[in-house]
């Protein structure tokens, strides 16, 4: 594929034009492979299942694919066992690839480019700010095989899916409702993040009316942690560092801590809410040493999550390191030495804080 950067005014990336186009693809096409980003979260899983089951209920042929395992917290969702970790390339050739909760091939995983290239056409539905500097070359193809409906004002991809299903007047059964509710619950931090608006509560009410179970979702997601997670939390909190009069907090997950506690990396999800919860903190960073699964596994890979409260633009900081996300929640991963990375990250965060402090 050609390596040409997409420009911001590419017409087929335009939100307003593309809702109709996206709805038409869902109506017209008969065979789909739905996928989401690596290390799927509640919204990726909720939207993949919600849309998958809904498409199937109107008679479409649907397969679900995610590169990585589904975190155990989501196994209660009906339809979760439909998510496969391999795909049939012959099926793809005649199918529409739907990419959810991300908008670039590399976020799908190792097979992202291949999937996007081999499928009949591609429909991207997402709420992450698109980054034209890292957009896949496929976006610039003149045949517009790829349609992207991206609404960064939406709290969750699951919320976009709900609105699309309503536009299509397709049935939303309790399993679809529960999946989409889980996605919205997850991406709003259980209705606590700054993206929790009136429309979010309206959507949650609609979904509850359709059979979603708020107490079940909250219990499964927030009150069923393994003891290893809590042991890991105590070790990770021990690494807490504060900078800039306590406005910046950093915590770390080192590989040997994981080994000591018997916990998995997924057990560390949302730990960042603890340093972010300190009264003086504006921005928190969670720095993790991570495993690399490819043939060059001696790489020192580091993953960083950033969360801010009111003025630090996490997305902007993450972008400096090749990542992305949202204003209050973003992240990146790169090959780096933790100590070196910490220095450059701190510099970037301090610069953001100083802008406000003057
Ligand atoms: Mn999302």
Q: From ligand 1's centre to the CA of 265, what distance in Å?
A: 20
Characterize the bridge pairing of strands 121-126 and 83-84: unpaired
Are the C-beta atoms of 352 and 317 separated by less than 8 Å? Answer: yes
In a domain, 6, yes or no: no
Q: In which domain, by residue range, is 53 found? A: 11-221
Dihedral angle of Cα 209, 215, 216, 218, to the nearest 10 degrees: 120
Asked whether residue 159 carries a pLDDT value surpassing 90, the answer given is yes
In a domain, 5, yes or no: no
Kindly state whether residue 149 falls inside one of the protein's structural domains.
yes
357 Cα–ligand 1 center, Å: 31
Q: What per-residue confidence (pLDDT) applies to 303?
A: 95
- Ligand 1 centroid–CA 67 distance in Å is 17
**Helix, strand, or coil here: 221?**
helix
How many independent structural domains does the chain possess? Answer: 2
Assign 107 a pLDDT band (cuts: 50, 70, 90). Answer: very high
Å from CA of 170 to ligand 1 middle: 22
Among 221, 243, 267, identify where a domain stops: 221
DSSP string spanning 240-272? -EEETTTTEEEEEE-HHHHHHHT--GGGGTTTT
Q: How far is the CA of 59 from the centre of ligand 1 (A)?
A: 27
Among 141-155, 224-238, 322-336, the range scoring the smallest mean pLDDT is 141-155
The predicted-structure confidence for 20-71, as pLDDT tens digits, reads as follows: 989 999 999 999 999 999 999 999 999 999 999 999 999 999 999 999 999 9
Residues 6+ apart with CB under 8 A from 160: 47, 125, 126, 127, 149, 151, 154
Ligand 1 centroid to Cα of residue 325, in Å, is: 9
pLDDT, greater one: 161 or 291: 161
User: What does the pLDDT look like over 133-148, one tens digit per residue?
Assistant: 444 433 444 457 888 8
CB-based contact 161:154 (threshold 8 Å): no
Q: What's the count of helices (H) and strands (E) in the chain, helices before strands?
A: 14, 12
In whole angstroms, what is the distance from residue 313 CA to residue 282 CA? 11
Q: Give the count of alpha carbons within 13 A of 70, CB side only.
A: 25
pTM of the predicted structure, to 2 decimals: 0.82
Q: How far is the CA of 60 from the centre of ligand 1 (A)?
A: 24
Distance 156 CA to ligand 1 centre (A): 5
Phi, psi of 354 (to 5 degrees): -65, -30
Residues 174 and 64 in one domain: yes
Q: Is 77 domain-assigned?
A: yes
What end-to-end distance do the CA atoms of the chain give, in Å? 46
From ligand 1's centre to the CA of 43, what distance in Å?
A: 5
**Residue 282 pLDDT > 90, yes or no?**
yes
Domain limit, last residue, from 174, 199, 221: 221
CA of 187 to the centre of ligand 1 (A): 6
Short-list 342, 222, 356, CA closest to 286: 342
Does residue 98 have a pLDDT over 70? yes
Residue 235: pLDDT over 50: yes
Residues measured by CB to lie within 5 Å of ligand 1, the ion: 43, 101, 156-157, 187
Domain edge (last residue) among 171, 187, 221: 221
| 304 C-alpha to ligand 1 centroid (Å) | 17
Please tell me the predicted confidence (pLDDT) of residue 264. 87
Q: Which residue has the tokens 């591609």?
A: 122
Domain identity same for 161 and 243: no
**Ligand 1 centroid distance, CA of 127 (Å):** 6
What does the pLDDT read at residue 326? 87
* 140 and 274 fall within a common domain: no
Mean pLDDT of 316-320: 96
- 153 or 175, higher pLDDT: 175
CA of 298 to the centre of ligand 1 (A): 31
Residues 308 and 217 in one domain: no
In the reported structure, the alpha carbon of residue 157 is separated from the centroid of ligand 1 by a whole-number distance in angstroms of 5
Query: Cα(208) to centroid of ligand 1, in Å?
Result: 20
Q: How far is the CA of 243 from the centre of ligand 1 (A)?
A: 30
Nearest-angstrom CA–CA distance, 121 and 358: 49
- 137 and 259 share a domain? no
Q: What share of the chain is helix, strand, coil (3-state, %, to 5)?
A: 45, 20, 35
- Whole-number Å distance, alpha carbon 191 to ligand 1 midpoint, is 14
79 and 214 in a common domain: yes
Judge contact between 76 and 52, C-beta under 8 A. no
């Amino acid at each position: 594929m050609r390596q040409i950067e997409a420009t911001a005014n590419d017409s087929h990336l335009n939100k307003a034009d593309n809702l109709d186009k996206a709805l038409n693809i869902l109506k017209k096409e008969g065979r789909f492979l739905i996928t989401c980003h690596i290390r799927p979260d509640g919204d990726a899983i909720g939207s993949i299942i919600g849309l998958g089951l809904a498409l199937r209920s109107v008679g479409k042929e649907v397969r679900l694919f995610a590169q990585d395992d589904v975190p155990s917290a989501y196994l209660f969702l009906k339809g979760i066992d439909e998510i496969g970790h391999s795909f049939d390339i012959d099926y793809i050739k005649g199918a529409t690839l739907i990419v959810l909760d991300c908008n670039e091939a590399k976020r799908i995983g190792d097979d992202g480019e291949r999937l996007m290239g081999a499928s009949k056409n591609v429909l991207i539905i997402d709420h992450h700010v698109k980054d034209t500097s890292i957009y896949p070359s496929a976006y610039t193809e003149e045949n517009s095989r790829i349609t992207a409906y991206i609404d960064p004002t939406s709290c969750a991809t699951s919320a976009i899916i709900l609105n699309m299903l309503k536009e299509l007047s397709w049935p939303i059964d309790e399993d679809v409702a529960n999946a989409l509710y889980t996605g919205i619950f997850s991406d709003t931090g259980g209705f606590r993040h700054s993206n929790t608006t009136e429309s979010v509560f309206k959507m949650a009410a609609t979904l509850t009316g359709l059979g979603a179970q708020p107490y079940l979702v909250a219990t499964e997601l927030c009150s069923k942690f393994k003891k290893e997670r809590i042991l890991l939390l105590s070790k990770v909190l021990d690494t807490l560092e504060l900078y800039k009069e306590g406005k910046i907090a950093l915590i770390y997950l080192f590989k040997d801590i994981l080994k000591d506690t018997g916990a998995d990396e997924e057990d560390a999800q949302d730990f960042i809410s603890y340093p972010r919860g300190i009264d003086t903190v504006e921005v928190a960073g969670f720095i993790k040493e991570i495993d690399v699964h490819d043939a060059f596994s001696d790489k020192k890979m580091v993953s960083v999550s950033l969360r801010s409260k009111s003025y630090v633009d996490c997305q902007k900081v993450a972008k400096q390191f090749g990542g992305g996300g949202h204003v209050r929640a973003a992240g990146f991963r790169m090959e780096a030495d933790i100590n070196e990375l910490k220095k450059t990250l701190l510099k970037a965060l301090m610069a953001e804080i100083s802008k406000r402090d003057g």
